[in-house]
């Protein structure tokens, strides 16, 4: 394993490749639990080493995997995808509606449009007008020889046929809506889980940076105290 001795520490202590300073993270900025993961595979890891961001992301994902397994046991497929996205820096948010609608067949689109029209005020008003006209025609205009005399058996037959056809169409539309809701809930769970893990990483990173800054400030104060003591010594 190669150490950080090239160009002021531009070599990754894990993969041995040379990177720019902006692509490397000092060992002092790596959280201790993640550093323990690194030392388990690279015993020569020390405080003067550096690690590239890709390897650091891999060890962070490995550490998160260990935490999740310890808390919940075996990981689900969704959680595996979230860990993969953390490692590869990919986003999980997606337009579920557009992606789902791209796979619809002509029959499914037609069923949804029929269901939308059947549940609208336009359909209700048009059908009410049709029933009123039907009753008026068979009760007044065609009083002597009505096509469908009272109690309007033919109209009842038409209504029954319409209900029998409309019900499965509405059920098909509802089933697709439920499938879309499941996909949306799955995507929301993945996004929320990743956001939670990212926030946890940010908190840990901030805590580590603050503690590191406090250590540096204490060191600076100790140096200042030494200087003051030297100035107070009689010459």
pLDDT score of 29: 80
The residue that leads in pLDDT, 148 or 218, is 148
Is the pLDDT score of 125 beyond 90?
yes
Least confident segment among 22-26, 89-93, 122-126, 196-200: 89-93
What is the spatial distance between Cα 4 and Cα 10, in angstroms, rounded to a whole number? 6
Q: Which of 59-63, 148-152, 174-178 has the lowest mean pLDDT?
A: 59-63
Domain ranges of the chain: 1-90, 96-188
What's the rounded mean pLDDT across residues 108-124? 85
pLDDT for residue 44 is more than 50: yes
Q: pTM here?
A: 0.43
Provide the pLDDT confidence category of residue 179 given band limits of 50, 70 and 90. Answer: confident
Q: What pLDDT digit, counting tens, does each position of 215-230 carry?
A: 767 766 666 665 566 5
pLDDT category, 78, cuts 50, 70, 90? Answer: low
Please report the pLDDT score of residue 214 as a whole number: 74
Residue 1: what pLDDT?
41
- Could you tell me which residue, 27 or 130, shows the higher pLDDT? 130
The answer to which of 24-33, 118-127, 139-148 has the lowest mean pLDDT is 139-148
Cβ partners under 8 Å of residue 39, min gap 6: 45
Query: CA angle 221-29-53, nearest 5°?
Result: 155
CA distances from 210 to 198, 206, 214, 217 (A): 18, 6, 6, 10
CA distance 33 to 45: 13
């Amino acid at each position: 394993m190669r150490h950080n001795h090239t160009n002021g520490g531009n070599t990754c202590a894990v993969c041995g490749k040379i990177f720019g300073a902006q692509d490397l993270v000092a060992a002092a900025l790596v959280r201790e639990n993640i550093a323990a993961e690194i030392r388990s595979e690279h015993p020569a890891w020390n405080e003067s080493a550096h690690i590239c961001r890709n390897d650091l992301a891999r060890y962070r994902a490995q550490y998160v995997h260990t935490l999740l397994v310890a808390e919940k046991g075996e990981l689900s497929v969704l959680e595996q995808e979230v860990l993969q996205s953390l490692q590869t820096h990919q986003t999980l948010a997606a337009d579920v509606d557009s992606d789902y609608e791209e796979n619809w067949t002509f029959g499914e689109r037609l069923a949804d449009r029929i269901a939308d029209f059947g549940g609208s005020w336009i359909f209700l008003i048009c059908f009410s007008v049709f029933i009123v006209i039907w009753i008026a025609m068979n009760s007044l205009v065609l009083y002597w020889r009505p096509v469908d005399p009272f109690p309007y058996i033919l109209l009842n037959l038409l209504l029954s046929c319409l209900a029998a056809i409309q019900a499965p169409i509405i059920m098909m539309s509802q089933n697709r809506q439920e499938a879309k809701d499941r996909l949306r809930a799955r995507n929301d769970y993945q996004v929320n889980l990743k956001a939670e893990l990212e926030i946890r990483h940010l908190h840990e990173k901030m805590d580590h940076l603050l503690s590191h800054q406090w250590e540096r400030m204490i060191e600076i104060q100790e140096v200042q105290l030494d200087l003051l003591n030297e100035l107070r010594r009689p010459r």
